[in-house]
Amino acid sequence: MGLLLIAIVVTYAIFSHAGANPDHDWRAAARATIEHNQQEINNPDLPVKYKINMREEMALQQYALDHQLPPMETTLWGGVQRGAGLIQIITLFTVIIAGDMVAGEFTWGTIKLLLIRPATRAKILASKYAATLLFAAALLVTLFVSALIVNGILFGFQNIGLPHLQVLADGTVHESSMLLYVLATYGLKLIQLVMIVTLAFMISTVFRSSSLAIGLSIFIMFMGQVITFFFMRYSWGKYFLFANTDLTLYLEGKPLEEGMTMGFSITVLIFYFLLFNILSWEIFRRRDIAA
C-alpha cells in the first residue's frame, strides 16, 4: 500500500504540475493584482468587508515583491500543500486495515488463540487500535516525504526556505515557518482520518464483519458532506459528526452555521471519539467467543 501511495503521489504531482503555467511570471501577476485592488478600493460601492481583504492582499503581494518571494503555488510547497488532499487515500487504505483488524481475527478463528494469551482483552484491543493508527501514521509520513521529494524535483528545491506570509491585525506582514504551516494543514485533515478510522474499527469490533466495517465507513466518508448538507436543515444537524470534522472552516472564519465555534466542534469530535472507543471496548471485553 505504501508503494501504491507513492505511485499516486507521483502521478498526482506530475498532473498538477503540468496544469501550472511554466512561463508564468509571478512578479507581473502580483503587480497587476496590486493595481487592480488599488482601483477597487477607491470604488465607493464596494462593502468595507471586501476592502479589508483587498488591503491585506495588497500588503502580501507588495511584501512578496520587495523580498523576492514567489507565491507558494509556484514552488514545491504548493505541491506538498496540494498533496494534503491525498490524505483521503490514506483514510481509504487505513479504513480497509481497520475494518479487518478485529473482524478478520473472528473470520479466521484466530481470535480464540489470541484471547487465551496472558494479556487482558483491553490490552489486545488497545494494541490493535494503536497498530491501526501507526499504519496511518506510516502512510502519512510516506505521503509527506514523497510529496516533498517529487515536488522538489518538479519545481526545484531552490524555494525550500520560503516563509509563510500572513497579515497581522495591525496590517503588517509576518513571516513564519512554511513547514509548520503545511504540517498544520496536514494535521487538520488528520481529524477526519482519525474519526473515520475509529468508526471503522468500532464497526469491525462490534459487528465482527470486515465488509460491513469497510463498506459503511467508506460510504460515510464519501457521503459525509452530502449527509451533512441534508442534516443542516434541522436544528440538530450541527451535532452530526461530519458537520464538525473540517476545522479549517473556523480558521477561515466561515463556520457551517452561525453560532458554531471551534470549541463546539472540538467538543462534538471528542464526544464521538470517546463514544466509538468506549463502544468497541465494552463490547469486546464482554463478548463470549462462541464461533
Partner 1 sequence: MTQTDRHTPIVEIRNVTKRIGSKTIIENLSFDVPRGEVFGFLGPNGAGKTTTIRMMVGLMSITGGDIRIGGYSIRTHFEQAIRHVGAIVENPEMYKFLSGYHNLVHYARMIPGISSDRIQEVITLVGLENRIHDKVKTYSLGMRQRLGIAQALLHKPSVLILDEPTNGLDPAGIRELRDHLRRLTREDGISVIVSSHLLSEMELMCDRVAIIQNGKLVDVRQIGEYVQAEERQRVAFELEPLDQAKRMLEEADVEAVTDGRELVVNFDKPQIADWNKRFVEAGIRVYGIRSTAKSLEDQFLEMTGSDPIA
**Position 122 contacts partner 1 (CB under 8 A):** no
Choose, by CB under 8 A, the member of 29, 113, 130, 262 that binds partner 1.
113
Choose, by CB under 8 A, the member of 1, 10, 115, 249 that binds partner 1.
115
Min dist CB 156 to partner 1, Å, is 44
**Position 131 contacts partner 1 (CB under 8 A):** no
**Position 110 contacts partner 1 (CB under 8 A):** yes
Between 174 and 285, name the residue whose CB sits nearer to partner 1. 285
Between 124 and 247, name the residue whose CB sits nearer to partner 1. 124
**Position 290 contacts partner 1 (CB under 8 A):** yes
Min dist CB 287 to partner 1, Å, is 9
**Position 49 contacts partner 1 (CB under 8 A):** no
Between 97 and 241, name the residue whose CB sits nearer to partner 1. 97
**Position 118 contacts partner 1 (CB under 8 A):** yes
Distance CA 221, CA 214 (A): 10
**Position 230 contacts partner 1 (CB under 8 A):** no
Choose, by CB under 8 A, the member of 112, 145, 157, 271 that binds partner 1.
112
* Cα dihedral: 221, 226, 232, 236 (round 10): -40
Using CB under 8 A as the binding criterion, the count of chain residues that bind partner 1 stands at: 16
Min dist CB 143 to partner 1, Å, is 26
| Among 106-114, 171-179, 220-228, 260-268, the segment contacting partner 1 (CB under 8 A) | 106-114
List interacting residues with partner 1 (CB under 8 A): 108-110, 112-120, 286, 288-290
